[in-house]
Structure 1
């Protein structure tokens, strides 16, 4: 006789407030779907259990709907999940999922297309990014970020510009976390260091800031410079960000593709692996990270006032 499939468990996903509400909600959403599948229960029966529609179950299982404690408990009863440790962990995750995400204090300024990335990056184990035009957002100074944000939308009110600047510059703090910070592996084109943003002084201070960050966080930030010689490999015309999570068995990789009027997200394994291959190829062609500081110091001399 074939062994009975083991019941899914959520105990391997820790309750970590610094990862943010969305990560907890998405991990629990996938777990509820696995529990339903293990119990052999269809979406219609699950929906009847909580007096909702099948589309509501779909939204819950895709992490798109808020989780109510009583509904989750009813679903667990229906799915035959009675283990006290499992139920306690799930209750903790439901509670965490109801809290504000880190970006929500800036909700009126955070572009809607960026919010899924802002919500999930605190839970990342590794962030891999490629930036063909600008210094990566996590590494920008306030004045550099201000000029870029104003250039992207000259009609944006000054108050909202300042709010976006604060939001952008605050993202570096997750890399300074004492407990399990993400690692940022960033590739940017060499021309970024020569492209005038604002004035020579702005560029001088931005490159000085990069040097400071590399010295301050050598294990959290690995910055690669891709020379023009990478040719077609560097012809990707838009920023790419790939997130892999600490609890990756519960959270699938996420890819963010920035576009002029918004962004596209990909989380299917075949898609995320394809973009990760593109990024890894660029990393391999770029100058090794241990040579970046000397490159920055060399470029810095050209911007010295």
Structure 2
């Protein structure tokens, strides 16, 4: 851990210790992202990338501020994710930081647009919370999505009935459940309708064996997996039951490969409380390695259809 280098007035999201002017810290307040649905983590990840670009040019925050006719404080707040960055300011920053490769410039501009413009989930943001809203933005920007689910079929591959059964395990309000199911189905539509991003999903065989939503729902779910496994943008592998546990992997997680060259894979780990985002190479590499090890233990994608057929056979005839 080290002291924050960006002089931000509140907690810096870069995994560093914040600077404090007093020995006494104020009482911890509820996370704003949980109150207003602001995608704070996504803002922070963009801000860190802009800071790295600035530092790569040996430029101070004050110097960058002069370049966009702003103060050092504004640059610091942008880099800490406390405020957004306007497209006009981003264009100037990219010129100052000598980012000339068109693909990289467009990737950063798209990131800013995703953060500044209302998205399809905008009306549900206060129900979803800022962490999930951040994930939805990062998911929409990803080149590749790799996902591992400990017990259930991965969320992006769930049917509406299966998704509702899973969501009901945690939530009780009917309206909230309906909204969360609707968002999950729209996520699926956004991801599966094109060739990018590519989705690589590892399904625990136990998830195909447990008919907790009921046999009818499970049969429908397995049939859907059979359909999507043919999509060119989807790679689906079935893990032996308990493979993750034997390797000490107790949480579901997803790995998002971004189009921005210098940005590490972003690992998203689900918890009962706030989910965890890991966006540095040191933090995300163990999960990338774990995913690759699980993939080696799983059946090949070419064998997935046989696994799904076996799962259907075990359910018996409808």
TM-score by length of 2: 0.73
2:289: which partner in 1?
277
Alignment equivalent of 1:194, drawn from 209, 216, 228: 209
2: CA distance between counterparts of 1:37 and 1:110? 35
Shift of 1:41: 3.1
Match 2:192 to one of 176, 179, 185: 176
Asked if 1:128 corresponds to 2:140, the answer is: no
Name 1:259's counterpart in structure 2: 271
**Cα–Cα, structure 1 residues 244 and 96, in superposed 2: closer, same or farther, change >3 Å?**
closer
Residue 109 of structure 1 pairs with residue 127 of structure 2 = yes
The 3-state SS of whatever aligns with 1:108 is helix
Provide the residue aligned with 2:136 in structure 1.
118
Distance 1:65 1:230 in 2: 42
Pick from 305, 308, 313 the counterpart of residue 293 of structure 1.
305
CA distance in 2, matches of 1:209, 1:101: 27
Alpha-carbon shift at residue 282 of structure 1 (Å): 0.3
Question: TM-score normalized by structure 1?
Answer: 0.76
Task: Pick one of 217, 239, 247 that aligns with 1:226.
Answer: 239
Provide structure 2 residue ranges, at least 5 long, that are not aligned to the other structure.
1-38
In structure 2, distance between residues paired with 1:82 and 1:281: 36
Question: Distance between the aligned counterparts of 1:146 and 1:258, measured in 2?
Answer: 18
Residue-pair matches, total: 275
SS at match of 2:257: strand
